């Protein structure tokens, strides 16, 4: 049933007037879109422009509030992903939909199994996966466990998974977001191969250059509305950029030169740490961050950055090594001690670590300082008035949009939640800031805000360790870059003396010899 022998040409999908509202918020406001077989169609827009929502409607994850979907000119109601899969639509989500503990084969077939009687026919499944991976040049090992795979390999698994289910329309949501520069090229080759096979490929991205490189046509969305569709061959970057943000320039960061006094505020030596499963994730890492300096940590996700940050900040046990904050040895000290010594942490996941969502903004604004005066009166009382006053001050100074300081943090937008965290941490006048992916999932205004704040702290003399998956962010902000690969530091560069190509190569561990 997976071999559809029909010839594929012409219009695959047409969306007409798709409207999607979530309890009052309009994510898509009447969008028309046409996808052809044998085409790579770019869906371009900022975070929050409604790209993913639109494609989730097509994939049956959301039911549209209004509008109609046509498949090969026939009106269809796609009420669930099961319906979409049967209709030949596949989607690779930005966050992979794979179960780490299961094998590649099990992950690929779940919900679409090949059977022998009532049992899974694992040998036929493996054979079929082998055929597909050969046909499209997507190398995967069906019997490996997903948790053992790199991000690039997991992405291949996701694509083969969609093909296994007979996808003719393939939606790829920000597929290059987590890929290093070097893997992007071979990934593009795969997409072209799929297109040449006649598949309709939707490529969701916010990166202009990639849209122009790989797509045949590009549709730009802004704030839930369609700005227009243009053939990639006739479009320019600046034209698309204007369509995307509605103004000509993105933004220029003021990075005035400030001289470091050469004071090592954060020194890490020989640090070794393990992940949740006890597997070594960071090995013998050492570096120094000085005053007035931002050191960026580049690397493909999952190469030990999270474990490095947690180990530095005292959130996970240090196996080995030293962490010195302003000359004081704080190896393995708990978070409270770290904070008292002047090290603050912007955690990578604001919901998991950064906030207590059901606590009020006020209560969240003192998290980590709950035992300090004036919030605590001795250790036997808590001053509600001091907390509320402090929270109000932060709300004003950091332009946090919030109905009141008694509002639960859950009710805030992602950008404002991140502002609460930044306000709380930066207001402690830290010597050292460990910022892990501080702009993840934020819109342009949010990113701009975070960048300005970090640069302001640098101006005031803080040492900043910035972990990011976004090379552009690192190249814009960092004074120095270190690259992490498989738990080790494999190179150090200055942004002015390097480019994305070279950093990308280091991120893949490929340039150790040349470095």
Partner 1 sequence: MKLLKELGIIVVSVALGLGVGAIITAATGYSVPAVFRELVRGAFSDMYRVAQTLTQATPILFTSLSFLIAFRAGLFNIGAEGQLFLGGFFAAWAGFTLSLPPVLHIVVCLFFGAAAGAVWGFIPGWLRARRGANEFVTTMMLSYVAIYLTSWLVSPGGPYHGHQWANQTARILSTAELPRMITGTQLSWGIVVGGLVALLLWYFLFRMPRGYELRAVGQNPLAAEYGGVDVAPTQILAMVLAGALAGLGGASEILGTHRRFIEGFSPGYGWDGIAGGLIARAHPIGAVFAALLMGALRAGGSAIDRAGVAPSDLAAVFQGLVILFVVAPELIRYLKRVRRRRRVHGRPEP
Partner 2 sequence: MDVLSLDIMVAALRLAMPIALVALGETFSERSGIINIGVEGTALAGALIGATVAFFSGSSVVGLCAALGVGMLLGLIHAVWCVYLRADHVVTGAAINLLVIGLALFLTRVVWGWRGTSAAVPTLNPWILVWGMVGLIVLAQVYLFRTPWGLRLRVVGEHPQAADTAGINVFRTRVAYSVLNGALCGLAGAFLVNNLGRFSVGMVGGRGFIGIAAMVVGNYRPIPAFLAAYLFGFVDALQMRLQDVIPSHFSIMLPYVLTVVVLAGFLGRAHVPAALGKPYIKDQG
Contacting positions for partner 1 (CB under 8 A): 313, 315, 334-336, 339, 345, 347, 352-359, 363, 367-368, 370-371, 375-376, 379-382, 384
Spatial distance between the Cα atoms of 446 and 464, rounded to a whole number of angstroms: 19
| Cα–Cα distance for residue pair 405/394, rounded to 1 Å | 10
State in angstroms the smallest separation of the CB of 402 from partner 1.
16
Return the range that interacts with partner 2 (CB under 8 A); candidates 74-82, 198-206, 296-304, 433-441: 74-82
For partner 1, give the closer residue by CB, 293 or 310: 310
Nearer to partner 1, 123 or 370 (CB): 370
Site string for partner 2, 10-49 (x = CB under 8 A): ----------xxxx--------------------------
Using CB atoms within 10 Å of the CB of residue 389, give its burial: 0 to 12 exposed, 13 to 18 middle, 19+ buried.
Answer: middle
- Determine contact, residues 289/268, Cβ cutoff 8 Å: no
**Which residue, 62 or 136, has its beta carbon nearer to partner 1?**
62
DSSP letter assigned to residue 408: B
Q: Is 151 in the site for partner 2 (CB under 8 A)?
A: no
115 interface partner picked from partner 1, partner 2, none, CB below 5 to 8 A per type: partner 2
| Minimum distance of partner 1 from residue 379's CB (angstroms) | 6
21 binds, among partner 2, partner 1, none (CB under 5 to 8 A by kind): partner 2
Residue partners of 63: CB distance under 8 A and separation at least 6:
57, 79
Does the footprint of partner 2 cover residue 145 (CB under 8 A)? Answer: no
- Return the number of the residue (101 or 406) whose C-beta is nearest partner 2: 101
115 binds partner 2 (CB under 8 A): yes
Question: Measured from the CB atom, is 72 or 353 closer to partner 1?
Answer: 353
Residue 62 contact partner, candidates partner 1, partner 2, none, CB within 5 to 8 A by sort of partner? partner 2
Work out what residue 110 binds among partner 1, partner 2, none; the CB cut-off runs from 5 to 8 Å by kind. Answer: partner 2
CB 500 within 8 A of CB 328: no
User: How many Å apart are CA 291 and CA 260, to the nearest integer?
Assistant: 6
The rounded distance, in Å, linking the Cα atoms of 131 and 510 is 30
Give dist(CA 266, CA 164) in Å, integer: 49
| Closest CB to partner 2 among residues 84, 450 | 84
Helix (H) or strand (E) holding 289: strand 280-290
Among 1, 3, 6, 119, binds partner 2 (CB under 8 A): 119
183 is a contact residue toward partner 2 (CB under 8 A): no
CA gap 199, 475 in Å, rounded: 36
Q: How far is the CB of 384 from partner 1 (least distance, A)?
A: 8
Handedness of CA 116, 118, 123, 125 (dihedral sign): positive
**Rounded least distance, CB 122 to partner 2, Å:** 9
Phi then psi for residue 231, to 5 deg, are -70, 135
**Among partner 1, partner 2, none, what binds residue 368 when CB lies within 5 to 8 Å by partner kind?**
partner 1
User: Considering beta carbons, is residue 80 or 186 the nearer one to partner 1?
Assistant: 80
Which residues have a Cβ under 8 Å from the Cβ of 487 and sit 6 or more positions away? Answer: 280, 281, 282, 283, 285, 303, 304, 307
Q: Which does 396 bind (CB under 5 to 8 A by kind): partner 2, partner 1, none?
A: none
In the complex with partner 1, which residue's Cβ is closer, 165 or 350? 350
The tokens 């004071």 sit on which residue? 263
Query: Where are any strands of DSSP class E within 291-427?
Result: 293-298, 318-325, 328-329, 343-346, 376-377, 381-382
The bridge status of strand 89-92 relative to strand 169-173 is parallel
355 binds partner 2, rule: CB under 8 A = no
Window of 105-113, 184-192, 320-328, 460-468 that interacts with partner 2 by CB under 8 A: 105-113
Alpha helices in 16-166 (DSSP H): 51-58, 81-86, 104-109, 122-136, 151-164
List contacts with partner 2 (CB under 8 A).
20-23, 59, 61-63, 65, 80-86, 91, 93, 97-102, 106-107, 109-113, 115, 118-120
């Amino acid at each position: 049933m997976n071999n559809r022998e029909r010839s594929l040409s012409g219009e695959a999908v047409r969306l007409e007037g798709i409207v999607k509202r979530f309890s009052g918020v309009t994510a898509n406001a009447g969008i028309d879109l046409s996808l052809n077989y044998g085409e790579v169609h770019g869906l371009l827009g900022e975070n929050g422009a409604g790209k993913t929502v639109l494609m989730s409607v097509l994939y049956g994850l959301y039911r549209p509030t209004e509008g109609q979907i046509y498949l090969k000119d026939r009106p269809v109601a796609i009420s669930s992903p099961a319906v979409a899969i049967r209709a030949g639509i596949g989607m690779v989500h930005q966050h992979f939909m794979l179960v780490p503990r299961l094998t590649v084969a099990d992950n690929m077939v779940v919900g679409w199994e090949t059977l022998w009687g009532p049992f899974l026919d694992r040998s036929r499944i493996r054979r079929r996966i082998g055929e597909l991976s050969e046909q499209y040049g997507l190398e995967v090992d069906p019997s490996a466990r997903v948790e053992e795979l790199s991000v690039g390999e997991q992405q291949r698994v996701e694509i083969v998974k969609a093909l296994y289910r007979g996808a003719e329309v393939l939606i790829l949501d920000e597929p290059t977001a987590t890929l290093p520069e070097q893997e992007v090229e071979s990934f593009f080759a795969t997409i072209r191969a799929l297109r040449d096979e006649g598949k309709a490929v939707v490529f969701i991205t916010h990166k202009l250059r990639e849209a122009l490189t790989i797509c045949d046509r590009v549709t730009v969305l802004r704030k839930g509305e369609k700005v227009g569709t243009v053939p990639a061959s006739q479009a320019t970057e600046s034209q698309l950029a204007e369509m995307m943000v509605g103004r000509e320039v993105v933004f220029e960061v003021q990075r005035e030169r400030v001289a470091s006094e050469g004071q090592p505020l954060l020194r890490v030596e020989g640090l070794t740490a393990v992940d949740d499963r006890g597997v070594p994730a960071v090995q013998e890492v050492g570096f120094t961050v000085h005053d007035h300096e931002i050191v960026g940590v580049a690397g493909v996700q999952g190469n030990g950055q999270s474990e490095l940050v947690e180990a530095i900040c005292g959130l996970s046990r240090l196996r080995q090594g030293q962490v010195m904050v302003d000359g004081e040895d704080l190896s393995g000290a708990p978070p409270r001690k770290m904070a008292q010594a002047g090290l603050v942490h912007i955690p990578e996941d604001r919901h998991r670590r950064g906030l207590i969502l059901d606590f009020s903004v006020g209560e969240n604004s003192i998290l980590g300082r709950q035992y300090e005066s004036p919030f605590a009166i001795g250790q036997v009382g808590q001053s509600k008035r001091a907390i509320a006053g402090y929270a109000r001050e932060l709300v004003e100074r950091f332009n946090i949009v919030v109905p009141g300081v008694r509002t639960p943090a859950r009710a805030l937008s992602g950008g404002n939640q991140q502002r609460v965290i930044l306000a709380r941490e930066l207001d402690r006048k830290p010597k050292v800031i460990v910022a892990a992916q501080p702009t993840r999932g934020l819109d342009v205004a949010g990113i701009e805000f975070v960048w300005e704040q970090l640069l302001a702290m640098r101006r005031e003399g803080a040492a900043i360790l910035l972990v990011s998956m976004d090379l552009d962010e690192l190249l814009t902000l960092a004074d120095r870059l270190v690259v992490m690969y498989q738990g080790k530091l494999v190179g150090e560069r200055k942004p002015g003396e390097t480019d994305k190509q070279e950093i990308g190569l280091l991120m893949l561990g490929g340039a150790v010899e040349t470095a």
